[in-house]
Amino acid sequence: MIYFDNSATTKVNDSVLKTYNAASEEYFGNPSSLHKLGLKAYELLETSRKQIANLMGFKQDEVVFTSGGTEGNNWIIKGTAFKKREFGKHIITTEIEHPSVLNTMHQLEQLGFEVTYLPVDKTGHISADDLKKAIRDDTILVSTMAVNNEIGAIQPIHEIANVLKDYPSISYHVDSVQAIGKNLQNKFMDPRVDYYTFSGHKFHAPRGIGFIYMKEGKQLEPLMAGGGQESNLRSGTENTPAIAGMAKAIRLLKDKEAQKADEMEQLKEKLVNHLKTLDNVHVFSEIGANFAPHIICFTIDGVRGETIVHTFEERDIYISTTSACSSKKGLESGTLKAMNVQEKVATSAVRVSLDENNTEAEMDEFIKNLDEIHDHFQILN
């Protein structure tokens, strides 16, 4: 089996699973309980938070646990909108965000908020100039992703942050679900950013756990009201085993991060260079500083993405159409559409997404199969 669908989800790491199981058995107490089982669980929870904060360069209080990326994005956007609605109802985002951002925006539009969607250029990048033009007196929030989940384009976070330096009252959120662990810190970590979203299952932690970074002093309206967990920001009994697992997964992720990213980049280059030699193939993920090392989006003209996915699947190779979240609905890629790629090309798009466990042998095997599949489908052209 070759698993090249790591941006959809990753396989949970064995030692992370061990931590998860051990925490479930030894620390099953509710962290809010007064007795010592509760205190033990509380200690595990806070030690995990501290470890994550340290590894990420945050303060301990700035890390708040969620159920994952979708919740994080929903919460930061809605929580900011609800908190600041008296100061303005205008939000700026981009056309290429993940559905958990875009559909949240649509919900807010129904509630009377106005949303500006920034366009992207033909490489899939937004521009800080466009952002500057879109800012209004009543703008309360800017939300831009760090790494696009469909083609891997790295957005100019520092340039946007630079523009926003002149607008201290606008909150700035960066969806960094696809950016963590790819040695891209110097591209998306910026002191002007107020919120980041992270999701555990994208880096070998269990499903159903994630966290947000919330800059000290910032305020969010909670979406979950209840027992006051997470400093009264996100109620609900804490998922301690998954949180401990995630803390471990981040430690493993950060170990030799640069080297691992480098290896992914080399595999990516190999595939991209090969794709460019094939006829009737478009590659949207370029090699270079503006693209993440782990995502390769391409099309084979005339063949629907779905068909390509299934053809690879028959060979025990797993890739996806552009975003797993919308791929079952047969929609064309939102990002490619925003890049003004023709619809018939966009519906052909598939995505290969790598991680640290993928090897050069797997890539060679993939390329061999790709050639065969590509040859086969030339009958359609």
Q: Which residues lie near another protein (CB under 8 A)? A: 19, 22-23, 26, 34, 36, 39-40, 43-44, 47-48, 51, 244, 247-248, 251
Spatial distance between the Cα atoms of 285 and 290, rounded to a whole number of angstroms: 9
Q: How far is the CB of 233 from another protein (least distance, A)?
A: 18
Strand order in the sheet with 63-66: 63-66, 210-214, 195-199, 171-175, 139-145, 90-94, 114-118
Map residue 292 onto helix, strand or coil.
Answer: coil
23 vs 147, beta carbon nearer another protein: 23
Q: In one letter, which amino acid is 374?
A: H
Nearer to another protein, 47 or 103 (CB): 47
Give catalytic status of residue 325 as yes or no: yes
**CB of 44 vs another protein, minimal distance in Å:** 5
DSSP labels for 126-172?
--HHHHHHH--TTEEEEEEESB-TTT-BBP-HHHHHHHHTT-TTSEE
Active-site entry in 325, 331, 345, 367: 325
- Nearest distance in Å: CB 58, another protein: 16
Residues whose CB is less than 8 angstroms from the CB of residue 204 and which lie 6 or more positions away in sequence, other chains included: 10, 11, 12, 13, 16, 249, 252, 253, 355
Q: Which is nearer to another protein, 44 or 319 (CB)?
A: 44
Residue 197 or 240: the one with the smaller Cβ distance to another protein is 240
Interatomic CA distance for residues 20 and 247, integer angstroms: 10
CB of 235 to another protein, least distance (A): 18
Look-up of token digits 């910026």: 190
Closest CA to 254 of 18, 53, 46: 53
Beta bridge partners of residue 114, listed in sequence order:
90
3-state secondary structure of 277: coil
How many other CB atoms are found less than 10 A from the CB of residue 369? 17
Give the DSSP per-residue string, 19-62: HHHHHHHH--S-TT-SSHHHHHHHHHHHHHHHHHHHHHT--GGG
Provide CB contacts within 8 A for 255, sequence distance 6+.
none
In the complex, minimum distance from the CB of residue 26 to another protein, in angstroms, rounded to a whole number: 7
Residue 267: count of CB within 10 angstroms of its CB: 22
Least distance in angstroms from the C-beta of 332 to another protein? 42
The phi, psi pair for 212, rounded to 5°, reads -115, 155
Residues 6+ apart with CB under 8 A from 70: 100, 199
Minimum CB separation of residue 25 from another protein in Å reads 11
- The residues assigned a catalytic role are 325
